[in-house]
Structure 1
Amino acid sequence: MTDLPEYTRSQLALRNGQDKPQIWIAYLGIIYDVTESRLWRNGKHYEHWAGQDLTPELVDAPHTETVFEKFKKVGVLK
């Protein structure tokens, strides 16, 4: 079990770099803060948008899930 706060999909969607300054994404139920990543400026990373669960999109990514290890976990997707 984790002691991270829970967020709904609606709450995650607000952390898109546009509606709120935070840039968050979810993967496998964990929400990561990618605000400081130069690759996520303005909430966009290539054809991906922040504020959503990117789990199904990782299969098309040129990297593995280890990329998430460098980002802070900020919550759990409810």
Structure 2
Amino acid sequence: MDKKEHLPTYSTAQLALRNGQDRKEIWISYKGLIYDVGGSRLWKNGRHYEHWAGQDLTAEMEDAPHGEWVFERFPIIGKLI
């Protein structure tokens, strides 16, 4: 059984609160999964270059200088509904 099946679910409004400003958590979403990026110095204060935490960044990955493998280093917190 896939561990991702039993992850908690969060709405876009709940994700938006985890932007590094309103709460301590710094989360982003990619392809329906929510990642905790708070441990990365590149996401300090909830911002990574022109990207803000608390959002779904799936569409923005097309322009990124890296591939989706970058998410492998971050823990998965839940699923975006």
Establish whether residue 53 from structure 1 lines up as the match of residue 65 from structure 2.
no
SS of the counterpart of 1:42? helix
* Number of residue pairs the alignment of both structures matches: 78
Question: 4+ residue stretches of structure 1 with deviation over 3 A?
Answer: none
Determine the C-alpha separation between the residues in 2 that align with 1:70 and 1:61.
Answer: 16
Per-residue deviation, 1:19: 0.3
For structure 1, which runs of at least 5 residues remain unmatched after alignment? none
Asked if 1:25 is matched to 2:24, the reply is no
Question: In structure 2, what is the equivalent of residue 38 of structure 1?
Answer: 41
Q: In the alignment, residue 77 of structure 1 is paired with which amino acid?
A: L
TM-score (norm 1): 0.98
Match of 2:19 in 1: 16
Aligned letter for 2:21?
A: Q
Tell me how far 1:73 sits from its aligned partner. Answer: 0.2
Matched AA of 2:46: G
